[in-house]
Every structure is written in structure tokens, then in C-alpha cells.
Structure 1
Amino acid sequence: MALAVVIGAGAGVGAVVFRWCIQTFTHLFSGHADYAAAPGASNPHVPWLGPYFVLLAPVLGGLLYGPLVNRFAKEARGHGVPEVMLAVAQRGGRISPKVAVVKTLASALTIGSGGSVGREGPIVQIGSALGSTLGRVTRLAEARMKLLVACGAAAGIAATFNAPLAGAFFAMELILGTFSAEAFGATVLASVTASVIGRAAFGDVAFLDLPDFHVDHLAQYGLFALLGVAAAVVGMGFSRFLYLVEDACDWLWRGPEWLRPAVGGLALGLVLLALPQTYGVGYPVLEKATEGGYAVGFLLLLLAGKMLATSLTIGIGGSGGVFAPSLFIGAMLGSAYGIGVHYLFPGTAGAVGAYALVGMGAVFAGASRAPITAVVILFELTGEYSIILPLMLAIVLATATSRLLSDDTIYTLKLRRRGIDLEGPAPGARIGAQHVGAVMEPLPSPLPASTALADAADLLSLSGHGALPVVDDAGDYIGVVSAQAVAEALAEQPDAAPTLVGQLAEPPTPVTADQPLTQALHALLSAPGTGVPVLDPSRGKPVGWLSHQSALRAVHAAAAR
């Protein structure tokens, strides 16, 4: 707990320094505190260039941060969060301390020179590097090290966005991937400490200043639900487009990596010249969209332009997050959608800004698949509680739709493309790398669904498995019944209790013969009894049985080698 407070203080100071660096470099490259608030204006430092200075700003920025990243910390390139997720999942929470310094300078230079990215990815990586460094200095165990990394990520989010709750949930939902009382307590302590420092520096105000919104008609919930589904499609589309552009940049570039951001900055400069509203993070443009300041056509142009500008910034080697661009894209989508439904249903649609706000959270949830974080962070960023119900509805639908469209998120897809599975074993690890088919046991005799519970109890007690597969009259697998479920059913009142095994059978999380053992362990640990059926990957029929004993034998054999 004491270390969490120390990390929170360090990350809070780091967030203050990081934001100061962004403001300084933005003023240096553009001559404005935030060029997105004055799109198309000239740079007071070089007024003779007029608005064409944006062609040179990304080039000059790339000449500075390109060599810096390439020489000192290549992991500082990109949006940062996937690297932290990988460090926690497979590297024991170890992150090089130099990442904090390099990421601060590289991301501030990227954003200040026009890079169309956000600051949440960098501050997560900066805070996490601080947590990892402190964990190594104090020689903590690996589990504690991972928790300190999460504390650093939570503190960074909390300080830079004045969102302590969102910081804690971000760390648990995306970085740790698990919820526990200990993790919540530690990350909240770090978040609160960082928020106190952040509020002392930036003030205790909502990050976005938006007007009040209200839901006046029940029919609006249906409109918000449709927006959630559309936002998931846009969020996943943004994720795919991001890596498509990165692949194109990789294919086109044949020179030294340190020079890539500068040369690619020419292409980014052309986008900024055409749409100066995409310069930097773009919060002033986002706020104007929520106030109904743009026409539908221009909103859709800004949506596409932000996707392109962000993808180019990452593709040429820039350093910055994708959270803020997701909010920007969501605001453009929601505002355009709000204007459209207001035109179609003027009496019931309600305020356009409400759809912009909901679109922000839904696109982020669709891209990241972090619904709790999306709800909490949108509430804390805006201070708008009146919109919480439609926000929750749209975010849940966006998350569910996103899961149907893809197994990966905008964060995990980056790692998957590099051949890294966060749920699989670390590269080179022998333990857990075996496939389930190589370690499974023969399938126990299944129980017919028509078996009486009393008979099933006898068969379960003799099987030694604590659970058995169940098949229907046609012999098709329908699930598993556990001894505990049968015993509980027999103990119930006669009128209410089920009488047949088929009424109690439930399918556990599917485990297939071609899965790595490390993935199947999650299903095995959560299943009733002492094992789960192993399914044929093509037909979905049980072909074996994975028990705790067989899994332990495989792990022990791998460790012995």
C-alpha cells in the first residue's frame, strides 16, 4: 500500500511534466496553445508560411523523436498500452526505466508537432515504467511487481484526466485483466494520490466542458441502442484501418527507422493541411461537435480524417495513444447520428450533444472492449450523470457487437500481429505450451439425458471425476453435470427439484484438442468437478477429458525437462 502511494505520487508528477512538455512543444511547433482550437491559422513564429507550416511541423518533430526512440527505447514507439499488457502477462511486469523518459519526450514531440494521437497511452506506459522500476529496486515478487505496474498505469490515467475511478478500473480491466480487493485497493490508492497532485496542478474541473443533457422520451433508448451497434462497427473499423495503414507504411519504407517519422511526416502534413482540426489531440474540435457546431457532412469528413491522421501518425513511427482518437471519432459519429435522428424524429430525438457523448464511450468500448472503463471514464471526463443510463446501454451493446465481429481489440490486435497471444505461454516457455490433445485422458462414459438423478448420483460417485458429460437421445453432447449439482437437486423439495440429468446439464467453456494447455487452464479452473470434456475442433463432439491431474502431470513433466 505504501509503494502504491509512492507510485501514485511519482506518476502524478510525471503526468504534470508530460502535459507541460506537450503544451511547450505544441506552442513551439504551431505557435498556439492548441492548434485544433484555431484550425487554419498561421504560426506566429513563421507568419510568412501561413497555414502551410503544418507541412513542416511533423517533419521537424519526426527528426527529433525518430532518432530518440530508435536509439534508446524502441518500445516507446506506438500507443503504449499493448506493451504494458504484454509486460504484465508474460514478462513478470518488467519494463525498462528509460521508457518513462523516452516516452515522455517522444510522445510530447509527436503530439506537439501535429501527431493526431492521444496522451493516455504514453502516460500509462510512463506510470507503468515507474511502478516496474520501484518493484525491481525493492526486490518484490513477480505478482507484486505486476500490481505495481498496474498502479502506475492507474495513477497516470487518474492524474492526466482527473479521473481517479477510471484510472483504477482501466488498470484492472485492461492491464491486469482481473478484479480483486487487493488490486482495487492498491490501484485506488495510487489513483487518488496522483489525482491530488493533478488537481493541484490543473484544477478540480471536469476534463470536458459540456452542456447538460437529459433523456426526455423512452423512445430515445432505442435510438441510443442503435448508436451503440453502429459505434462498435466504427470502433472495430478504426482498429483494422489503423493496422492496415501501419502495414502499408512498413511495406513502403525501405530506409533507416530513425528517419521514417520525418519522411512520413510529409504525408501527415498533407492531411493536417486539408483538415487542420486533426492536429494534435483535438479536444476543442470534439467539444464543438458536441455543441452542434458542425454539419453532418463535415462531421463524417472529420471522422474519416481522424482515422487517417491517427493511423498515419502511428504508422510512420509516432508515439501516442488511441483512446483520445477513439473519443474524437465517437463524438463525430454520435453528433452526425444525433443530427440525423433529430431530422427524422424532431419530437423525440432530444439533444444532439447527448448522442455525441454516448458515441464517444461506445466507440472506445467497441475498439477496446473495456465497458466498465468506458462508462466510468466518460462520466468522470464530463461530469454528466444524467446521461449514464443510455451511455451504459450503448456501451454494453457496442462491447457485445465488437466481440461478435472480432476476437481481438485495438490493443491485443497489435500483439496478435506479432505472433503474441496474451493468454498463451511466453515465447520460449515450455510449461503450458503443449496442446490439450497431447495431455487429455480418455472420455468417461457419458450419461444419457434421461438418467434419473438417483442413478446419476451413484454413477458419479463411482466415476472419480466429480462431473460427467451428458448426451441426448440422439447421442449428441449437450453439456456436463456435476456431482454437486445432482446432490443439491436431490436435497431440494420434491415438487421443485429436477428429476432427470438432462435438466441439470450445462455446457462449460469449450476446450478443443488443438488449444494450448495454458488457454484451457482457465476453463478447467472455472468448471465444476475435476475436469472438462475436450471437443473435436471441427465437429464439436467430445473426444477426451482434461482433468486437473492430467494438466498437472503435463506441467510437471515440462518443468522437469
Structure 2
Amino acid sequence: MTDRPATARDRARLGLVVVLVAMVAGLIGSLTRCLSIGIETICFGFDYTTAPDGVAAAPVWRRLCVAVLAGLACGFCWRMIRRRPRGMPPGIAEAVDPDPAGRIRLPVRSSVADALAQLLIVGSGLSLGRESAPRILAAVGGQMVLDRTRLGEEERRLLVGSAAGAGLAAVYNTPAAAAFYTVELILRPDLRTRRGWAHTGLAALVCVIATVVSWAFNHDEPVYAVPPVTPAAPDSPWLLPVAVAAALLVGWAFNALIGAARRHAPPTRLLVGTVPLGALAVAVLAVWQPLVVGNGQVIVQHVLAGGLTPAALITLLVAKACGTATALVTGSTGGLLTPSLAVGACTGGIVGVVAGADPATTVMLAVAGAGCVLALNQKAPLFAAFFAIELTKAPPSLAVWALLAVWAVWCLDLLITGALRRRRR
């Protein structure tokens, strides 16, 4: 990875550091998951992401008070760490910049504060993903390990980026998806070269080790429980293409809504007021639809369990999209992975229920729809497909159809958006 030929001692040192960084990332990711559960329990008296009805069992007054208090705390925190009138503190992208001139160290205090604020705001019920926090904390942890080594700048860059992906792997028990996330969205190695493939292998190794470490906490359990009904193929050949087309349209609309919300986010000086206002708005929305709170895990599990009507699925889809946009337009920070999965799962579920498909096919369409919308949102098809598959530990037949759906929606998106760009010229 450096220009100087590596000796056996260099390789041994690098191997030891890789293992240490991966273990630290796995431990941090696992502890972050435990911290998330603890925050939810403190806020509502129970872990709402595993509750059958979200936060419905908590008193309304408690939900509203928690939202406002957490919003005030997070708004104050973000106002302190965002020095620019608009913008974010330095993040992982700057820490792994391929250009040494643009590369920076992750600021430990502001990075940890940002991650903890994200965990608090999502744990209190705001409609955002919590996956950014473990990535940030794992990257900071990896950086601290690397500070005690004599590795070169390029090795440090690769391992900080790999640690960020490994944090995601540990939280969600998704080593392959996290490896693809690291490659597609963090490191972006040149796969036309041997060095690019070496970087890819390093990222995959770090994610696998971190996932193994996380098994001490999650016991290798999937995030979502899929009913024991798996189709060898859709019961009607046209259902999957319809689900892909629906996911394409919904994904575009969701991305447009999220983009507009981000563009209209308030300046930093107003966050102390706007963040609690947004949290309160989502909490009020949750009085009508309790499943909308949090990252979307409750919605995905409900869709996979089945039994929802088309009207209920449409309501969940719209409520989740609007809740996520409300969080962003009022200045909160968080992820979009699970909100995208929730919107996509509802889309696939609507197609299956409206068509009168059997439960196995509806589950397949929901998993495929989740992967499709996530691929469009993150612009990372391999990560999206494997994330949807690993979160559910989908059997081979279901995994194949999900992969085909994500591949199809990605090709359609490239073709249509490319044609539109050429037409504008």
C-alpha cells in the first residue's frame, strides 16, 4: 500500500493493526447498539423498535415531553459543533479523502458529540436512521488505534474508512453489505487495478472481523424476522416488474422530498429552536401513527409480518416520508438507510397486497422494494441489495429475486436519468 517494498515485519505489523482496528470497530458498533436500546428504554420505558406497536404503549404526554427535551439538547449540541452558518462538522469523507491535501483528522470531541446527539434524537422518536453514529464512532476509534502505530498515511486512510464500514456491519450484522458500503460510498477504490482490489479485500476483512466480534452481543440474529414462507418465484410473472417500476417512482419522489428538505434546512444559529420543533412535530404525527417514530425498523417488521391493508401501507409510506423530511428540514442530523428501507418495503407490500399475491410473494416484493428504494437513495446498488438480504437473512430464492429487482431498478434509473441529461443538453 506504500511505495516502499514491505518486509515480513511490516506485513505482520499491518496485520496486527488491521485486526485491532476491526475488533475495536466491532466492539464500538455493538456498544452503540446497546446504547441505542438504553436511550429508547429511558425515553419510553421500553425498546420501541421491538415493540409490536412502536411507541403506542407510552403515554402521549411522555412522548411529547421526550421529543421536546431531546430536541433541545440535540439542537444546542449541533449549534455548538457546527461552526459554519450552514453545514456539518468534518466527517468521514474528509478523513478518507484520496487527496492528502484535503484529508483531515476526525475531530474527536465534535465527532463523538455529533454521534451521541444522533443516537439521542432517534432514540427519542425522531424519524431518521441511526446508522451514521456507529460509523462515526467506529472511525474515531480506529483513528485512535492508528495514532499509536507508525503506519503510513495511505494505510491510515484505508483503515479509518474500513472501520467506519465495520461499525455499520457490527450494528446490523451485515458484513457483506458493510463491505460493499465501504467500497461504494467511502473508499471508492479503483477496481481496474490490483491495488484497488487489495483495498477492497482489506475493507471486507475488517467488516467480517467486526461482525464476528458483534456476535457476542447479537448472537448472530437477523434484524428482521421473515415469516417461514419463501417463494421460488413470484406467483405472477408481472408482479416483480410492477414492484420495480413502483419502487423507481417512489424512490425518485422520496429522494426529491429529502433533497428539498435538506436544501431548506435552517441556519446553525436557529437549531436550538427548530430541532425541538421538528421533534415535536414528528411526535404529534406519531400520536396518529405510532409506527412512524425512529429509524423505520418497526414499519419494516410490520410489513414483513403481513396482514396490513393497502390503505394502512400507503399511510405508513406517506407518514414515514413526511416524518423524515420534517426531521431534516428542521435541522436534525441522522441517517437515511432504514427510512429508505421502510418506504421501499411499504411500496413492495402495496403491490403484493393490491394484486392479491400470496404471503410469500408479498414478503419477496417487500424485501425487493426495500432494496430498490435504498439503492436509489444511496446510489449504491450492491450495498442496497445485500443490506436488504442480510438484514432478513433471506433464503437463496428470496435473495436472488431481490438482487434481480435492485439490478433492474438501477439499470432503469441510469437509462432514464442519462436520457434526460442528454435531452437537456
TM-score norm. by structure 2 comes to 0.84
Alignment counterpart, residue 214 of structure 2, candidates 198, 202, 207: 198
* Structure 1 contact 227–359 (Cα < 8 Å) conserved: yes
- What do residues 397-445 of structure 1 show as CA deviations (whole Å, max 9, x unaligned)? 21123334558xxxxxxxxxxxxxxxxxxxxxxxxxxxxxxxxxxxxxx
Q: What does residue range 505-544 of structure 1 map to in structure 2 within 5 Å?
A: none
Q: What does residue range 223-238 of structure 1 map to in structure 2 within 5 Å?
A: 223-238=239-254
* Structure 1 contact 154–167 (Cα < 8 Å) conserved: yes
1:115 and 2:126 correspond = yes
1:71 and 2:87 correspond = no
SS in 1 for 2:356: helix
Larger fraction in helix: 2
* Structure 2 contact 230–398 (Cα < 8 Å) conserved: yes
Name the % identity: 26
Distance 1:27 1:207, change over 3 A: same
- What do residues 487-508 of structure 1 show as CA deviations (whole Å, max 9, x unaligned)? xxxxxxxxxxxxxxxxxxxxxx
Give the Cα separation in 1 of the matches to 2:23 and 2:87: 26
Q: Residue 392 of structure 1 corresponds to which residue in structure 2?
A: 403
Give the Cα separation in 2 of the matches to 1:30 and 1:218: 40
* Structure 1 contact 221–390 (Cα < 8 Å) conserved: no
Alignment counterpart, residue 271 of structure 2, candidates 257, 272, 275: 257
Aligned-residue CA RMSD in angstroms? 3.0
Alignment coverage as a number of residue pairs: 397
Give how far 1:358 is off: 1.0
Q: Residue 344 of structure 2 corresponds to which residue in structure 1?
A: 330
Give the Cα separation in 2 of the matches to 1:159 and 1:317: 28
Give how far 1:217 is off: 5.0
The AA in structure 1 aligned to 2:321 is M
* Structure 1 contact 333–359 (Cα < 8 Å) conserved: yes
TM-score norm. by structure 1 comes to 0.65
The AA in structure 1 aligned to 2:385 is V
Distance 1:311 1:4, change over 3 A: farther
Q: What does residue range 20-35 of structure 1 map to in structure 2 within 5 Å?
A: 20-34=34-48
1:41 and 2:52 correspond = no
Give how far 1:174 is off: 1.3
Alignment counterpart, residue 293 of structure 1, candidates 282, 302, 307: 307
The AA in structure 2 aligned to 1:189 is L
Q: Residue 360 of structure 1 corresponds to which residue in structure 2?
A: 370
SS in 2 for 1:117: coil
Give how far 1:165 is off: 1.6
- What do residues 180-203 of structure 1 show as CA deviations (whole Å, max 9, x unaligned)? 332233222211221122110121
Give how far 1:285 is off: 2.9
Choose between structure 1 and 2 for higher RCO, CA contacts under 8 A separated by at least 6 residues: 2
Give the Cα separation in 2 of the matches to 1:201 and 1:120: 17
Give the Cα separation in 2 of the matches to 1:124 and 1:22: 14
Q: What does residue range 391-470 of structure 1 map to in structure 2 within 5 Å?
A: 391-404=402-415, 406=417
Distance 1:137 1:78, change over 3 A: farther
Alignment counterpart, residue 138 of structure 2, candidates 120, 124, 127: 127
* Structure 2 contact 43–123 (Cα < 8 Å) conserved: yes
* Structure 2 contact 232–397 (Cα < 8 Å) conserved: no
The AA in structure 2 aligned to 1:257 is L
Q: Residue 159 of structure 2 corresponds to which residue in structure 1?
A: 148
Q: Residue 164 of structure 1 corresponds to which residue in structure 2?
A: 175
* Structure 1 contact 12–194 (Cα < 8 Å) conserved: yes
Larger Rg: 1
Alignment counterpart, residue 268 of structure 1, candidates 279, 282, 288: 282
The AA in structure 2 aligned to 1:379 is I
- What do residues 266-304 of structure 1 show as CA deviations (whole Å, max 9, x unaligned)? 222222222111111232332121122211011011001
Give the Cα separation in 2 of the matches to 1:218 and 1:234: 21
Q: Residue 381 of structure 2 corresponds to which residue in structure 1?
A: 371
Larger fraction in strand: 1
* Structure 1 contact 156–194 (Cα < 8 Å) conserved: yes
Give the Cα separation in 2 of the matches to 1:391 and 1:172: 21
Give how far 1:87 is off: 4.0
Give the Cα separation in 2 of the matches to 1:236 and 1:88: 29
The AA in structure 1 aligned to 2:166 is A
1:60 and 2:69 correspond = yes
Give how far 1:40 is off: 5.8
Q: Residue 114 of structure 2 corresponds to which residue in structure 1?
A: 103
The AA in structure 2 aligned to 1:364 is L
Alignment counterpart, residue 258 of structure 2, candidates 242, 266, 273: 242
